[in-house]
Chains A and B, each alone.
Chain A
Amino acid sequence: MKALKCRECGREYPLTATHVCEFDFGPLEVAYDYDGIKRSLTKAAILSRPQSMWRYRELLPVVNDPTVGLEVGFTPMIKSDRLAKKLGIREVWVKNDAVNYPTLSFKDRVVSVALSRARELGFDTVACASTGNLANSVAANAASAGLKAYVFIPSDLEPGKIVNSLIYGAHVIGIKGHYDEVNRLCAEIAGKFGWAFVNVNMLPYYAEGSKSLGYEIIEQLGWRVPQHTVVPMASGSLLTKIHKGYQELIKLGLARETECRIHGAQATGCSPISVAQKAGLDFFKPVKPDTIAKSLAIGTPADGFYALRVMKDTAGAADDVSDDKIREGMSLLAETEGIFTETAGGVTVGVAKKLIASGKIPANDSVVLCITGNGLKTIDAVNGHVGKPREIKPSLREFEAMMANEEEVAA
Chain B
Amino acid sequence: MPIKVRIPTPLRKLTNNEELVEVSAATIGEAIAELQNRYPGIQERLVDEKGEVRRFVNVYVNEEDIRFLKNQQTPLKDGDEISIIPAIAGG
Give the Cβ gap from A175 to chain B, nearest Cβ, in Å.
Answer: 11
Q: Is the CB of B89 within 8 A of A235?
A: yes
- Interface stretch, picked from A74-82, A197-205, A219-227, A353-361, is A197-205
| Chain B 47-77 interface mask (CB, 8 Å, partner A; 1/0) | 0000000111110100101011000000000
Q: Is A130 an interface residue (CB 8 A)?
A: yes
Residues of A within 8 A of B6 (CB): 188
Q: Which of B11, B65, B88, B91 contacts A200 (CB 8 A)?
A: B88
Q: Is B27 an interface residue (CB 8 A)?
A: no
Q: Is A343 an interface residue (CB 8 A)?
A: no
Given A184-B83, A188-B6, A286-B68, CB of A19 within 8 Å of CB of B54: no
Query: B interface vs A, CB < 8 Å?
Result: 6, 8-11, 13, 45, 54-58, 60, 63, 65, 67-68, 83, 85-91
Q: Is the CB of B83 within 8 A of A19?
A: no
Bound complex: CA A300 to CA B86 (Å) = 12
Q: Is A183 an interface residue (CB 8 A)?
A: yes
Bound complex: CA A203 to CA B58 (Å) = 17
Give the Cβ gap from B55 to chain A, nearest Cβ, in Å.
Answer: 6
Q: Is A173 an interface residue (CB 8 A)?
A: no
Mostly, the B contact residues are mixed
- Report 25 cross-chain contacts, Cβ distance below 8 Å, ordered by A residue: A19-B88, A20-B86, A22-B11, A22-B13, A23-B45, A24-B54, A24-B56, A25-B56, A25-B87, A26-B56, A130-B91, A184-B58, A184-B60, A188-B83, A191-B9, A198-B90, A199-B91, A206-B90, A237-B89, A285-B67, A286-B65, A288-B68, A300-B58, A302-B90, A305-B55
Bound complex: CA A278 to CA B11 (Å) = 36
Residue of B nearest to A135 (CB): B91
Q: Is A399 an interface residue (CB 8 A)?
A: no
Q: Is A195 an interface residue (CB 8 A)?
A: no
Q: Is the CB of A27 within 8 A of B54?
A: no
Q: Is the CB of B56 within 8 A of A20?
A: yes
Residue of B nearest to A306 (CB): B89
Q: Is the CB of A25 within 8 A of B65?
A: no
| A119-174 residues at the B interface, CB under 8 angstroms | 128-131, 133-134
Residues of B within 8 A of A199 (CB): 88-91
Bound complex: CA A134 to CA B89 (Å) = 12
